[in-house]
Amino acid sequence: MKLPEVPLTQVSQNELQAMAYTDPLTGLGNRYRMRDKVRLLSAERASDPAPFTIGIANLDAFKPINDLFGAEAGDEILCQVAHRLKACIPDGAIVTRHEGDEFAFVLPLVFERVGAEKFGQMIREVLSAPYDLGDRNVRLSASFGFSIYPFAGDEFDNLLKSAETALYRSKRRGRGQITVYSKEIAQEMKRATQLEQALRNAIISDAIDVHFQPIVSLATNMAVGFEALARWNDSDLGFVSPAVFVPLAEERGFIDALSETLLRKAAEAALSWPRELFLSFNLSSAQLMDPGTSGSILAILSRVGFDPHRLELEITETAVMSSADTAHRIIGDLRAAGVRISLDDFGTGQSSLGRLREFIFDKVKIDQAFVSRINSDRASEHIIKAILAMCEGLDLQVVAEGIEESTQAAKLRALGCGMGQGYFYGRPVDGLATLRFLQENYYEQGERISA
C-alpha cells in the first residue's frame, strides 16, 4: 500500500515552527516555548486560579570561564547544563534556555515558596558537580529567581519580570542564592534602582567625595601615606555608606566611571602632599576582570601629573580569584609602570598563601579581624606573628588595619609590624582636613609644609 505523500510546504512549516521554538545550541525550548506554556497554564486555571511557578537560573561567573577557556568550551558547558536539567525536572514541567547563560523553568505542580526553594536547592546541587571539558574540569554555581502565579503576576510578562527581579536580588546577595518574589523584595529592588539613578547622577555631577585615612609608621607614629576612601552625601538620601553604593556600582556595571572619578580626585589632592607620601587606592573585582583597567589608571595619572611610583593599589584575594589570568596581566602592567600592589584583608581568604606564590605583591594588609583581638585572643596574636614572619621572608611590607587602641599599636610594634592604620591614628577626613593634618603633624626637612 502506498503511503500518502506529505506536502513539502507542510513539512517546511512544521520544521520552521520547531526551529522557532527551539534553542539551536542545547536543543531545549526557548523563550517562546516558555511563554506558550505559561499562557496555556494561565488559561487552564483562569476560572480556578491554582498557583504554578516559573523560575530562572543564572550560571554564576560563567563569563570569566567562557573568556578563559574559549567560546567552544563555554558552549560545551551550556550543553552539559541543559542535559542535566532535562534529566531532573519533574513530570509536567519544562526547562528552556532563556538567554545566554540563563535557563528557565515552568513548574505546574509547585504551588508555594517552600516548594520553589526546594526545587532551587535540588537544581543547585545538580549544577554544582564538575563539568568535563576533556583535559580539565571546571565547577560552577547558579543563582535562582522564582515567581508564583497569580501572586507575582497573572500574565506571562508580569510573571517573568517578577522572576527576573527575584534573580537580580539573588545575584546581589552572592553566588548560589535562591529568591522567591514577594512585594517586599520588589520594594527593596525599587529602592536599589532609585539609589542607582541617584548615584549615576552624583558621578556625572562630580558629587562623590574622597576622604583620606593616614597609614603610619609604627616606629615613629608619622604618616607615610593615606588610603583614599569614597564618601557620598546626597541631598535627598543623606549619607550613603560605600559598603552600599560601591557594590551597587559593580553590580550595575558602572564601577569604572566611579573609580576613575575617585582616582582622579584622590591623585589631584595628593599632589599637595610631601612627595614621600604614597596614595593608596582600592580596586574592585570587576576592574580586575577588565583588560583595559591598567591603561585607564595610567592615563588618569598622566593627565593629573601624579607619579605612578607614589600610587599603591589595594586588591583583595576574592577580586584576584574572579579572573586570575586577566588580573595577573593587569597587575604586571601596573607594576612595570612603577605602581605598587597591596593584598588587602590578608588572612580572611581561602588560599592567601597560594595567591602570594602566584602573584607579585609589594605589601600585605593584615585584616582588622585579627588586629582587634590581638590582646585578648592568643590565636589572633599567633596568626599575626606568623604573617609577619612569612612577610619578612618574602620581603613584603606589612600594614595592620583597624588599630583603635594604644595597646594594640604597642603590641604590633613589639612584634615587628612596620605600619598601621585605624581610628587610633586618624579617621578618614576630606582633602582640606588632610592638608591641615599634614601641616600640624608632618615635617619635611625640619619645616612644616604649607597648603
Residue 327 has pLDDT above 80, yes or no: yes
Do 366 and 394 share a domain, yes or no? yes
Q: How far apart are CA 56 and CA 103, in angstroms?
A: 6
Do 427 and 355 share a domain, yes or no? yes
C-alpha cell at 147: 515567581
Quick check: is 187 in a domain?
Answer: no
Quick check: is 35 in a domain?
Answer: yes
Give the tens place of pLDDT for each residue, 132-154. Answer: 988 888 889 999 999 999 999 98
Residue 395, domain CATH: 3.20.20.450
Quick check: is 2 in a domain?
Answer: no
Out of 139, 155, 181, pick the residue that ends a domain: 181
Residue 82, domain CATH: 3.30.70.270
Do 256 and 384 share a domain, yes or no? yes
Quick check: is 200 in a domain?
Answer: yes
Q: How far apart are CA 97 and CA 291, in angstroms?
A: 29
Quick check: is 3 in a domain?
Answer: no
pLDDT of 449 reads: 42
How many domains is the chain partitioned into structurally?
Answer: 2
Quick check: is 165 in a domain?
Answer: yes
Do 171 and 207 share a domain, yes or no? no
Give the tens place of pLDDT for each residue, 220-229. Answer: 999 999 999 9
Q: What is the DSSP string of 412-451?
A: HHHHT--EEESTTT---B-HHHHHHHHHHH-EETTEE---
Do 157 and 216 share a domain, yes or no? no
Do 147 and 230 share a domain, yes or no? no
Lowest mean pLDDT among 271-285, 331-345, 434-448: 434-448
148-157, 208-217, 280-289, 369-378, range with greatest mean pLDDT: 208-217
Out of 125, 158, 181, pick the residue that ends a domain: 181
Out of 132, 157, 181, pick the residue that ends a domain: 181
pLDDT of 1 reads: 45
Residue 20's domain comprises 8-181
Do 246 and 270 share a domain, yes or no? yes
Quick check: is 270 in a domain?
Answer: yes
Instruction: For the sheet with 178-180, list strands across it.
Output: 94-99, 102-107, 52-59, 142-149, 178-180
Confidence of residue 335 (pLDDT cuts 50, 70, 90): very high
Do 243 and 371 share a domain, yes or no? yes
Do 277 and 323 share a domain, yes or no? yes
First to last CA, the chain: 103
Do 321 and 429 share a domain, yes or no? yes
Q: What is the DSSP string of 179-241?
A: EE--HHHHHHHHHHHHHHHHHHHHHHTT--EEEEEEEEETTT--EEEEEEEEEEEETTTEEE-
Quick check: is 74 in a domain?
Answer: yes
Do 25 and 169 share a domain, yes or no? yes
pLDDT of 14 reads: 64
Do 167 and 211 share a domain, yes or no? no
